[in-house]
Amino acid sequence: MRGWMKDERQMICCCSDGTRPVIFKIDRLDYQRVSIKGMGCENCEKKIRAAFEALPGVKEVTASHETGVAEVFLEAGVPEKTEGMYEKALSGIEGYEVTGVEE
C-alpha cells in the first residue's frame, strides 16, 4: 500500500454492509504514554486531561490515577510534539510531575 496515498498516515478502506459498499477514511494518530507522579484521584485525572487537551494537536487524552499514566493521542505529524511539552502543560498545576514519556 506504500505510495498509494499522498499521506502515509491515511488509508481509505472499502467494505460492504451486505447491501451497499461502504467507504471510509482512516487517519493514523500518534500515541504517547505519559507517566505522572502525584495523580491520586478522579479529580486529578480531570485536571491532567484538561491541561493536555489544551495543547495544540491533541485529539484525545485518557488518564488513570490507578496506573499513574495518561495516554495522549496526537494528530499525525504535529510539529509541536517537542521535549518538555507535557511538563509545561502541568507547570501551572501543583503536585504533578512527569516521570516519563513513551511513544
**How many structural domains is the chain composed of?**
1
User: Is residue 29 within 8 Å of 76, Cβ to Cβ?
Assistant: yes
- Per the model's pLDDT, the better-predicted residue between 2 and 84 turns out to be 84
pTM over 0.85? The answer is no
The helices-and-strands tally (H runs, E runs) of the chain is 2, 6
pLDDT in tens, 16-74: 767 777 766 666 668 889 999 999 999 999 999 999 999 988 889 999 999 999 999 88
Residue 97 C-alpha cell reads as: 510531575
Residue 18 lies in a domain: no
Residue 9 lies in a domain: no
Does the pLDDT of residue 1 top 60, yes or no?
no
Residue 85 lies in a domain: yes
Domain span holding position 58:
29-102
- Per the model's pLDDT, the better-predicted residue between 103 and 27 turns out to be 103
**Lowest mean per-residue pLDDT among 2-16, 24-38, 86-100:** 2-16
Residue 81 lies in a domain: yes
Residue 89 lies in a domain: yes
User: Is residue 12 within 8 Å of 28, Cβ to Cβ?
Assistant: no
As a whole number of angstroms, the distance between CA 48 and CA 61 comes to 9
Residue 1 lies in a domain: no
Backbone dihedral region of 34: left (phi > 0), alpha (psi from -120 to 50 degrees) or beta? beta
Residue 7 lies in a domain: no
Report how far Cα 10 is from the mean position of its chain's Cα atoms. 17
CATH of the domain at 49: 3.30.70.100
pLDDT of residue 42: 94
Residue 65 lies in a domain: yes
